[in-house]
Amino acid sequence: MGYYIPVERNVNIFVEDCDPGHGKPILFIHGWPLNHKMFEYQFNQLPKMGYRCIGIDLRGFGKSDRPWEGYSYNRLADDVRIVIDTLQLEDVTFAAHSMGGAIAIRYMARHAGHKVSKLALIGAAGFTRRPGIPYGLTKEEMKRWERSWSKLMVATYTDRPKMLDGVGDIFFARYVTESFKNWFHGLGIEASGHASAMCAVSLRDEDLGRDFSKINVPTAIFHGVQDKVCPFSFAKLMHAGIRESELIPFQYSGHGLFYEELEKFHRELIRFIG
């Protein structure tokens, strides 16, 4: 079932709810520059196991409205809060990938974990700029991270299809078919170019370091060891900074671990949620 939820005047968020009212709710928050359909293979299987899968298209992405403003982590986290309250969700597990993971971390800090009982961070873009943080990026690594997102922002405004091809080339460490690549590329094309660029700015500039200590629910950090988009050092940093967290490495995966090691991903997610 799909429907729209208003989060601001003239801004509606698209939500897909696989089985309203039944099963433990898992709220999936997609990464940049995709939409909730990236979790197709989770939506195919997890409801059979008794889970209510709910996918959000963040503003500017997928079927959601595309306002000119509102792409900070704070605003995106506020949108998620409105969805949770509108659906009257309880005992929610966040399953949040990449930028979605960063938004989930901000949500936990900004909204004191409202209605969320467990947090699954999947290849999350979680890092801090503060010096002296264990497992943090070196100064040179941080510069490379900032440069890469600055280039993506420029490329989004000049040749977005080619930019998406480049993202697709480094997204997966394991072989995926050309047909799958084309489908995946199409998810990125569905996004607003402006929203994609503005979220690239947020990815480049936002700092989550002060948010980690405010997370007070069991947290599982799912991360590909071969991730070239969000390096595995991000996973170590989050694991060191988040209480009650466990780190689950995916040895054979890059940024697309939710597909590259699909069976392991489902097995570990179900174990974690319980």
Active site residues: 98, 227, 255
- Where on the phi/psi map is residue 70: left (φ > 0), alpha (ψ -120 to 50), or beta? left
Let me know how many helices (H) and strands (E) the chain has, helices first: 10, 8
| Pairing of the two strands 24-29 and 51-57 | parallel
Which of 245, 272, 193, 222 has the alpha carbon at shortest distance from 98?
222
Phi and psi at 149, nearest 5°, equal -75, -30
**Burial of residue 140 (number of CB atoms within 10 Å: 0-12, 13-18, 19+):** exposed
Give Cα 150 distance to the centre of its chain.
19
Contact indicator for 170, 152 with CB cutoff of 8 Å: no
Nearest-5° Cα angle at 66, 62 to 72: 95
| Pairing of the two strands 51-57 and 116-122 | unpaired
